[in-house]
Amino acid sequence: MDAKLKYRAKKIKIVFFDIDDTLRVKNTGFMPESVKQVFKSLKEKGILTGIATGRGLYGVVPEIRELQPDYFVTLNGAYVEDKKERIIHQHHFSKELVEDCISWAKEQGLDYGFAGSHQAALAQRSPAISQAIDIVYPGLPLNPDFYQEQEVYQMWTFESPDRQVNHLPENLADQLRLVRWHPISCDLVPQLGSKAAGVAKVLEELGLKPENLLVFGDQVNDLELFDYAGISIAMEVSHEEIKQKADYVTKKVEEDGIFHALEELGMVEKEVNFPQVNLADQEGPRVKLKTNLGSLNLKLFPEQAPKTVANFLALAKDGYYDGVIFHRIIKDFMIQGGDPTGTGMGGESIYGQKFEDEFSAELYNIRGALSMANAGPNTNGSQFFIVQNSQLPYSAKELERGGWPAPIAKLYAEQGGTPHLDRRHTVFGQLADEASYQVLDKIAGVETGAMDKPVEDVVIEGIEVIEE
């Protein structure tokens, strides 16, 4: 992403999102969990959020409302309210204009419908109309007299599949325009009406400028909004005109496109999970590493270190570690094993060669951590160690100042570990219970000789894999 665009992102104070194929997949209703994180992160940063949609409020599905956006610009900008249901702006058709639209539609052989601020209705229904409209507004009632009872903010036209109408007669064109949203349907909206006009009313109320606005969209009813906003981002599936106007084209909804774009702009960060902090809540594979001095129960972290965990589990299942000794033990530091030669010079991975480090911002060399031994960057094989040190000369605040996350700094200060090994050795597991720590300390306390090798062998008798 362009550095200038990232700089412009520092001025953003409000973000507006289209719904269909932007926040969620229109045809399936799928909305990724990352969207929830986006809204939460923006709120924490003091950045306002809004929905800018061609839908009416009655078409804003529950999962979108649950995101608790600050503003709703609906019906292509014709009706705007805030999260407290306070009306910011509204612009409806005159009854005479609606009647002129109906007359024109009948002359053209078009079916039509009406959108009010809080209700909508169809004048006619057919299988083709149902297929187009029900995915947005399921089960709309039939009421050709809707405009006699309710104010109309927008109308729809419905064509036959083999005939499109893209122009209005002069008596309508000076007030209205057609905005296509479906192969057989257009929105009839005010000539000066658009999502941009509605969003502008919000910015006016907030005292903000267009340069403070970032928008996401995908269809031609977002064109004016893309022209207006300080930064515009198109989804990968967007109409070509939208892509051409966009400052940046992001990934699809299913690929966390919104999160990806905002992360690139430095406006959101991935929610960090520290599995070692809440170990009891972590699901996934476990192993029981049986030694002649007792068993070590470990939880593994395949999400953060997939290749390393796969290597360890495969070797364990093949019996690769059976009978192998802990060849290097240093009390108040760690115990190291996994080399069939027992020298610290051997061992191979399942990949047939040394493999790369998998450093994660979520895992650290706290006491009880299972880490890969190596001979430098990206030289992982079969050897591993378990951190045993229980004392650190640093406080949690000192570690935080050094760059460690607060929850990890607290663990280090309370339990010990080897923070100097972070980003040098891949952490991929953690001791799971107090009994295992007692065995760890027992192993670390054995008598050692030259090269920190135990005088009497500490042997891995076998590793039982318990996959969940």
Q: How far is CA 428 from the centre of its chain?
A: 23
**Contacts for 329 with CB less than 8 Å, ≥ 6 apart:** 335, 336, 443, 444, 446, 448, 452, 453, 454, 458
CA atoms within 13 A on the CB side of 329: 21
Say if residues 296 and 463 touch (Cβ distance below 8 Å): no
Q: What does DSSP assign to residue 20? A: B
SS3 448: strand
d(CA 154, CA 91): 9
Distances in Å between the alpha carbon of 318 and those of 70, 115, 285, 423? 56, 66, 16, 29
Residue 213 near residue 14 (C-beta atoms within 8 A) = yes
> In which order are the strands placed within the sheet that holds 48-52?
87-90, 79-82, 71-74, 48-52, 14-17, 213-217, 231-234, 248-249
Active site residue 18: yes
3-class DSSP assignment, residue 314: helix
- Catalytic one of 2, 18, 21, 134: 18
Distances 374 to 8, 236, 299, 333, 386 between C-alpha atoms, Å: 43, 41, 21, 16, 13
Closest CA to 404 of 386, 390, 417: 417
Q: State the Cα–Cα distance between residues 122 and 441, nearest whole angstrom.
A: 75
Nearest residue to 357 (alpha-carbon basis) of 384, 339, 376, 344 = 376
What is the helix (H) or strand (E) element at residue 34, kind and residue range?
A: helix 33-44
List, by residue number, the catalytic residues: 18
